[in-house]
Structure 1
Amino acid sequence: MNQLLADNPLVTTEWLAEHINDTNLVIVDAYMANIVGKEPIVYDEFCCLPKSRKLDVELDFCDHASSQIHALPTESQFTKAVQELGINSDSIVVIYDNQGIYSSPRAWWTFKVMGVEHVYVLDGGLPKWQEEKREVVTSYQQIPSLGNAVAKPNRHLACDSDEILHVIDTDAVILDARGEMRFLGKAAEPREGVRSGHIPSSKNLPFAMLLDNTTFKNKEILNSIFQERVPSNITKVFFSCGSGITACILILAAVSIGYKNVVLYDGSWADWGSNHNLPIE
């Protein structure tokens, strides 16, 4: 099964339905209460995929001791969270969310930053699963036992404002996942005290451009979108958004079409825009 998934961070609903009873498979609902930057899908009644376990991205996968809104968790915070989900070092983890593609890429990238492999995102998430009239349930799976997965961080996969400040005057590419009006500074930021505008030399790629409603567009279209913004000689791409969540949608798309050297600006615009010592456009 690992070989089948080796080169693609995304799995289809068909694949998951076929493998849902695999013994080392862990299905994770990357729940997020606050949806920013899109019209949220609202459910009349709670439901989830069979055998799924709840991960509250904001509660369990963020460092609340940090001044950043959605800072990546520390090693110990991450290890505690994934072990409480019953995830082992040999688990195959499939993450989904109830918006299709929204918070699941952030959870996936957190696993990557923390060095846990064999983690994938369900393309289309719960909406596509339901659209295909597949089984849903009304409660999460009970965790059978604590897992043994531990953090082995790949810290080069995330950066802070110092690194971004260092690269803005180079030929590095910084892609911003926020909507165009926020990027241009023509729409107010949703967070108090954050300036309007964007990081100098960054390019706008609203995450919605990559999606057909709840799933990613096909790879040919994704390639075209990225090639318009990333010159062929560029090997390293930085990603930003409002607070580090939707930038991971761009990262997931980039990785799915072969980009290798990708970096999340963890604090993103909420960090940059609130620091008046940093330049903006």
Structure 2
Amino acid sequence: MDQDDPKTLVSTAWLAAHLKDPDLRVIDASWHLPGGKRNPKAEYDASHIPGARFFDIDEISDHRSALPHMVPPVAKFMSRMRSMGVGDGHQVVVYDDSDVLSAARVWWLFKLMGQNDVAMLDGGLSKWRSEERTLEDVPPVVRDRHMTVRRQNHRVKDVTQVSAASKLGDFEIIDARAEGRFRGELEEPRAGLRAGHIPGSRNVPFANLLNHDKTLKTPDALKAEFKAAGVDLSKPAITTCGSGVTACVLALAMERFGKTNYAVYDGSWTEWGAFSTLPIATGEA
């Protein structure tokens, strides 16, 4: 697979070359962990890639759920994208300036909503900045654009489906959290959650998939990380993490090496770790 693939991942050089394309839409999807004390919208207002729109992961979500940034209803996603001027016929490139690669979450959301021409910017805003490429602080001129949404239900799993998969072993459940959290040796950053992992799951920390400059490793190297963690790639996969953000990094990585039969557990450990009736495991997988 080429490094630049407008359906998964594009380089800063690719984006710079296409920045003035009339049907390109750039999205800043920066999001930070609650304790990070950073305001992604304020940072976007101060400096962003030319023409970028800001995607608020917490706002464009299902507010009927007590869980953070769950998948928004289709109508809400469509209305927000229309107001951002993102719709049918657009090539979308999503980037972030986040330690947790939040752009992958929005990449996956677009895929869930049936949009295929969407890629994450490899290396994100930090790489763009390091190369001294153009930035601006003015909002883009937005024109409404309709988006046709066909929700791909197979790309997302709920707690009941994940519980069944854990018992039956018919899916590989893959956890993107750091090893200490997976093993239950570290406290969860969100209060009130138990420590450990879903029984039967494997651990592929999302950070293991990145180079030192936060670019994604090559498809072959990504595949090797999954295999080294004991993942059976012949099975369909369910990815999970803390709150459904870095699980999408695993989804993007699998897409890069050609594995497409995966889904994201939207509630992730924020849901599983909160319910005493759900079993947990500790130690190594």
Same structural fold, with TM-score higher than 0.5 when normalized by the shorter chain: yes
Q: Which residue identity does 2:175 align to in structure 1?
A: D
Q: 1:274 to 1:4 in 2, by over 3 A?
A: closer
C-alpha separation in 2, matches of 1:176 and 1:276: 19
3-state secondary structure, aligned to 2:223: helix
Partner of 1:228: 228
User: Would the aligned equivalents of 1:100 and 1:124 in 2 still touch at CA under 8 Å?
Assistant: no
Q: Which moved more, 1:164-173 or 1:3-12?
A: 3-12
C-alpha separation in 2, matches of 1:116 and 1:263: 16
C-alpha separation in 2, matches of 1:204 and 1:36: 24
Q: Deviations over 1:205-252 (max 9, x none)?
A: 111111113211222221211122355562301100001011101111
The RMSD of aligned alpha carbons is 2.5
Partner of 1:278: 278
User: Would the aligned equivalents of 2:82 and 2:147 in 1 still touch at CA under 8 Å?
Assistant: yes
C-alpha separation in 2, matches of 1:230 and 1:276: 28
User: Would the aligned equivalents of 1:100 and 1:123 in 2 still touch at CA under 8 Å?
Assistant: no
Uncovered stretches (5+) of structure 2, i.e. residues with no partner: none
C-alpha separation in 1, matches of 2:53 and 2:171: 39
Partner of 1:48: 48
Note the C-alpha offset of 1:178: 0.8
Q: 1:5 to 1:118 in 2, by over 3 A?
A: farther
Partner of 2:80: 81
Partner of 1:248: 248
C-alpha separation in 2, matches of 1:177 and 1:78: 26
Establish whether residue 168 from structure 1 lines up as the match of residue 166 from structure 2. Answer: yes
Q: Which residue identity does 1:239 align to in structure 2?
A: T
Establish whether residue 158 from structure 1 lines up as the match of residue 189 from structure 2. Answer: no
What TM-score results when the alignment is normalised by the length of structure 1?
0.90
Partner of 2:181: 182
Q: Which moved more, 1:26-35 or 1:242-251?
A: 26-35
C-alpha separation in 1, matches of 2:232 and 2:174: 15
C-alpha separation in 1, matches of 2:4 and 2:130: 24
Percent identity of equivalent pairs: 35
Q: 1:33 to 1:229 in 2, by over 3 A?
A: closer
Structure in which a larger fraction of residues adopt strand: 1
Q: 1:8 to 1:153 in 2, by over 3 A?
A: closer
- Pairing of 1:1-281 with structure 2 (within 5 A): 8-34=7-33, 46-60=46-60, 62-99=61-98, 102-143=101-142, 145-169=143-167, 170-213=169-212, 214-229=214-229, 231=231, 234-281=234-281
